[in-house]
Structure 1
């Protein structure tokens, strides 16, 4: 029986350290407000799964949704502004 093993050099390019590049880290940092807002919204939704929706809970849910929409809008506007600068 032959031994079949992977050849690491053939699978990955040389010099790959396994970490994100500077550009990838910048993209993650730019999206962090959206990620944080999504987590906060998810926390509110989980908290409301097994109980009745009271007015204060509805307000908390709307506030979390509004924060997420604001963060997404800011990210989209930032991306649009960067695209306009590049094409100009």
Structure 2
């Protein structure tokens, strides 16, 4: 009778079972203004789900959209400046 054993060594932790790395935390921190702006836009949209938006609601939505666009632009500009060979 043959003994059947495992082919691979036992893995103690899966990828989803670990703490975020310093680089991942830095990326989250860099994207936090965009995350916050998108959350604010979502909150405004949820507010007007069950009613017709009035003029104040429309202004709040426009301002929130502009904040999202500004945060995306800033993040894109930071990414371009981090490319090799690009200087400020």
Which bin holds the TM-score, normalised by the shorter protein? Answer: 0.7 to 0.9
Work out the CA distance in 2 between the residues paired with 1:34 and 1:65: 11
Displaced runs of 4 or more, over 4 A: none
Q: How many residues align?
A: 77
Structural mapping, 1:23-34, within 5 Å = 23-34=23-34
- Give the structure with the larger helix fraction: 1
Q: Which runs of 5+ in 1 are unaligned?
A: 1-6
1:4-52 residue CA offsets vs partner (Å, 9 max, x unmatched):
xxx9833747xxx810111110000000000000100000000010111
Q: What's the TM-score once normalised by structure 2's chain length? A: 0.78
Q: Which runs of 5+ in 2 are unaligned?
A: 1-7
Structural mapping, 1:1-88, within 5 Å = 9-10=10-11, 12=13, 18-83=18-83, 86-87=84-85
Work out the CA distance in 1 between the residues paired with 2:44 and 2:9: 45
Instruction: State the SS of the aligned residue for 1:87.
Output: coil
Q: What's the TM-score once normalised by structure 1's chain length? A: 0.78
Output the aligned Cα RMSD.
2.2
